[in-house]
Amino acid sequence: MKIKLIPEVTKVPFLQYRFITFGISAVLILLSAFMFFGPGLNKGIDFEGGIMIEAGFENAPDLGDMRSALGGLGLGQVSLQTFGAPDDILIRVQRQEGDSKAQMLAVEKVKVQLTADNGEGISYRRIEFVGPTVSAELVDTAILAVLVSVVAILIYIWLRFEWHYSVGAIGALVHDVILTIGMFAITGIEFNVASIAAILTIVGYSINDTVVVYDRIRENFRRYKKMEVRDLLDLSINETLSRTVMTSVTTLLALIALFIFGGEVIRGFATAMIFGVVVGTYSSIFVAAPILLQIGLTHHNEEEDGFKPSDDEAFDT
């Protein structure tokens, strides 16, 4: 027996709700921008610079007491979190003024305090320091990676379709990237290099969904030469709806398992991907296709671009 989340034939008037969905997206984008420029991102050590210590304890310590003890050392901002197990603690200390000797002195202060509070049975599994130069380079590289990916996708869509589709695709991608960054700002999840990897993966996933819808739109422009553009876009979205939803659901199942069982190391990445898949699916239906109608895509545009209808051509739905 086949499981069907979406019926084979649907007739949902998606374009009828485009102004409502545009309004929802606009509100979310403004909220994301406010949180980004206001409280900002919880930047990890990759981008902010500082000291990261992973310590294993014989027994799970009290994080509240440990936070108070380390906070009294005068090292600035100190954050703690469990790292996969209750007795495995990840300690982050803000970058200290001075050279590497100042950073090592801060590490020694932390070690002394932990030993005084918890005894000698502590194993230090990882001690890392990221300086200001390296963190600044990582920020620049991350921004460049996202921009290059978006520009490359713009060129690809322009060559494969025409400029209307490029505008729609980039609009959907910018929508997804802004909302994902806003999610990080609102939730306070640490933003690090893995987060950039998640954003780039989301960009690829989103454009894949969008291209599937756009391909069906172009096929239907050939098939239904006299159909109103709004009705044609609705038809195309409905015809690809089952594929879009099933792909998203199967991807989410894997990501949810990764979130639950993957441990603290990749939980931020998994959270971003889950959010991105949901937003990417939403944008391919409610943003990418409706934008085509708003910027004036017509049968005439398709013919001008060399994609001329033919009565002899038939396509499978």
User: Residue 155: pLDDT band by 50, 70, 90 thresholds?
Assistant: confident
Buried-exposed string 100-128: b where 16+ CB fall within 10 A, e elsewhere: eeebeebbebbeebbeeebeeebeeeebe
Alpha carbons 166 and 94: distance in angstroms, whole number: 43
CATH 1.10.1240.10: does it fit domain 14-42+135-304?
A: no
pLDDT tens digits for 45-98? 777 778 888 888 888 888 888 888 888 888 877 878 777 778 888 888 887 777
Strand, coil or helix: 53: strand
User: Residue 100: pLDDT band by 50, 70, 90 thresholds?
Assistant: confident
The structural domains of the chain, with segments of one domain joined by +, span 14-42+135-304, 50-130
Task: Identify the pLDDT of residue 89.
Answer: 87
Predicted TM-score (pTM) of the model is: 0.76
For every residue of 79-143, which 3-state class applies, written as one string?
EEEECCCCCEEEEEEECCCCCHHHHHHHHHHHHHHHHHHHCCCEEEEEEEEECHHHHHHHHHHHH
Q: Per-residue pLDDT for 25 more than 90?
A: yes
What is the average pLDDT score of the chain? 83
| CATH numeric code, 50-130 | 3.30.70.3400
User: Residue 152: pLDDT band by 50, 70, 90 thresholds?
Assistant: confident
Task: Identify the pLDDT of residue 163.
Answer: 80
Alpha carbons 81 and 88: distance in angstroms, whole number: 9
Least confident of 6-10, 166-170, 291-295: 6-10
- Give phi and psi for 77, each to the nearest 5: -70, 130
User: Residue 306: pLDDT band by 50, 70, 90 thresholds?
Assistant: low
Contact 93, 106 (CB under 8 A): yes
Bridge partners for 127 per DSSP: 53
Task: Identify the pLDDT of residue 277.
Answer: 94
Cα dihedral 220→225→230→235 (10° resolution): -30
Could you tell me which of 133, 210, 229 has the C-alpha nearest to residue 172? 210
- Give phi and psi for 43, each to the nearest 5: -70, 135
Task: Identify the pLDDT of residue 162.
Answer: 77
Q: Per-residue pLDDT for 132 more than 70?
A: no
Alpha carbons 52 and 40: distance in angstroms, whole number: 21
Could you tell me which of 98, 286, 59 has the C-alpha nearest to residue 179? 286
Could you tell me which of 40, 25, 304, 2 has the C-alpha nearest to residue 189? 40
Residue bearing the bigger pLDDT, 176 or 86: 176
Could you tell me which of 184, 188, 142 has the C-alpha nearest to residue 276? 184
Bridge partners for 79 per DSSP: 92
Task: Identify the pLDDT of residue 74.
Answer: 84
Contact 289, 168 (CB under 8 A): yes
Q: Per-residue pLDDT for 261 more than 70?
A: yes
Task: Identify the pLDDT of residue 251.
Answer: 92
pLDDT tens digits for 200-211? 889 888 888 888
The helix or strand, by DSSP H or E, that contains position 45, with its residue range, turns out to be helix 45-48
Task: Identify the pLDDT of residue 189.
Answer: 86
